[in-house]
Structure 1
Amino acid sequence: MKVKICGITDVETGITASRYGADAIGFVFAESKRKVSIEKATEIAAHLPKEVFKVGVFVNETKEEIEEIASCVGLTHIQLHGDETASFSESLSLPVIKALSFQGNESLESLKDFPSDFILLDSPKGKYRGGNGTVFNWREVSPQLISSKKVILAGGLHVGNVEDAINIIQPYMVDVSSGVETNGKKDLEKIKTFIEKVKGSLIGGITK
């Protein structure tokens, strides 16, 4: 099971998370309390292992801005967290993660044929498009609607609930941000514990 740690804003946390086994690091370029500058993201990305995904999170940004940031930072994946269209997704030069604020299977049905390499299932929108630390009902998700995509599960995950989440959704990757924070800042011990929980032995018969 793969793990993405999102909302990284400093070099030490990025390096340490990847050392603990994070498979993807997320940089938020949209409005958020975890928004990172292009310069800082570039610095962090330069210290990460080649095999770790460097994911840029964008909300309704222009293609030109996304491509420029991706090139500067050295992103490997683009996460679209807004109202981007299928044609917009197809026009991008890197693999796309299309985020969906899950509010029922009707909205999920509309993404079944969306041209993206991954679908990220997140909680309904709060103040920001993501990273709000709230959980949605995983049992409401229709397995048939997500069977053809690599699914990344987000939304209020933490060490206490991630096992249940994985057993129910059986995603390709889990994505955590606020669940590994203390007082709004990334907590290295929580990151370590979360990754160990996800990757340590077996969860629900799924090989890690």
Structure 2
Amino acid sequence: MKMIRSKICGFTRPQDALAAAQLGVDAVGLVFYPPSKRFVSIEQAQAIVRVLPPFVSVVALFVNENTERIRQVLAQVPVDILQFHGDETPEFCRQFNRPYIKAVRVQNTDDIIAAQQQYPDARAVLFDAHIEGEYGGTGHRFDWAMLPDQLSGHWILSGGLTPENIGEAVKITGAKIIDVSSGVESAPGIKSAEKIAALLAAMDEPNISEPE
């Protein structure tokens, strides 16, 4: 039985998103942050979403974007969940009447606890590595030992996850939801079906979802 839900973020090509969906990925992430190597235009996003089968969630990622631009994307791309990866306030995140995920760049355990308290209505809080000046997709991991033993609500493990370390990551953290970007790429924004398949296979190893 599949126990761990997966999102692959930073698609730029329809064929890669379709391959991921066919392999069993639960959600695809589209990056609407212009400085990112994985940035997509509205037209690119539309083409990617068009090929997806039903029941695969589309997540739109923004970083300190203005309200007008986000509404413009929502009006033209069928987005299921918003993901905010910058310094957005809870009030900003909830104004779009859409489920949202709030990403937090972790430096210490206090960051984790504070984020869960600050964004109580988020669909989930996502924990990523803190790299100065970068907002996700860095290929770096944070110290998983900083995660408290008991975390309330839904949370997502991200940051430097690969097919090679996903088993260790899940065993140590007990994560039930993971978000991967650079760890399954052949180049920035170009996803490898082989790496995605290897990631999902490693996640589905017997007893992998039981933390030690």
Counterpart of 1:3 (choices 2, 6, 11) is: 6
Aligned CA RMSD, in angstroms, stands at: 1.6
Counterpart of 1:173 (choices 170, 173, 177) is: 177
Residue segments in structure 1 that go unaligned for 5+ positions in a row = none
**Alignment partner, residue 39 of structure 2:** 35
**Alignment partner, residue 134 of structure 2:** 128
Percent identity among equivalent residues? 36
Once residues 57 and 146 of structure 2 are traced to their aligned partners in structure 1, the CA distance between those partners, rounded to angstroms, is 29
The residue type paired with residue 123 of structure 1 is: A
Once residues 193 and 12 of structure 2 are traced to their aligned partners in structure 1, the CA distance between those partners, rounded to angstroms, is 13
Equivalent positions of 1:177-196 (< 5 A) are 177-184=181-188, 185-196=190-201
Residue segments in structure 2 that go unaligned for 5+ positions in a row = none
Counterpart of 1:119 (choices 116, 119, 125) is: 125
Q: Say if 2:18 is the partner of 1:12.
A: no
Once residues 123 and 172 of structure 2 are traced to their aligned partners in structure 1, the CA distance between those partners, rounded to angstroms, is 21
Change in Cα spacing, 1:8 to 1:107, as seen in structure 2 (3 Å) is: same
Once residues 196 and 132 of structure 2 are traced to their aligned partners in structure 1, the CA distance between those partners, rounded to angstroms, is 23
Once residues 93 and 13 of structure 1 are traced to their aligned partners in structure 2, the CA distance between those partners, rounded to angstroms, is 29
TM-score (norm 2): 0.90
**Preserved contact between residue 57 and residue 78 of structure 1 (Cα < 8 Å):** yes
Deviation string 1:119-174 (CA, Å, 9 cap, x unpaired) is: 11100124520000001110111133xx2221111100001111111122222311
**Alignment partner, residue 66 of structure 1:** 70
Q: Say if 2:208 is the partner of 1:203.
A: yes
* SS of equivalent to 1:133: coil
Q: Using the TM superposition, give the Cα deviation of residue 181 of structure 1 relative to its aligned residue in structure 2, in angstroms.
A: 1.2
* SS of equivalent to 1:203: coil
**Preserved contact between residue 32 and residue 128 of structure 1 (Cα < 8 Å):** no
Residue correspondences, number: 204
Deviation string 1:87-116 (CA, Å, 9 cap, x unpaired) is: 112212211100000100122222122131
**Preserved contact between residue 26 and residue 56 of structure 1 (Cα < 8 Å):** yes
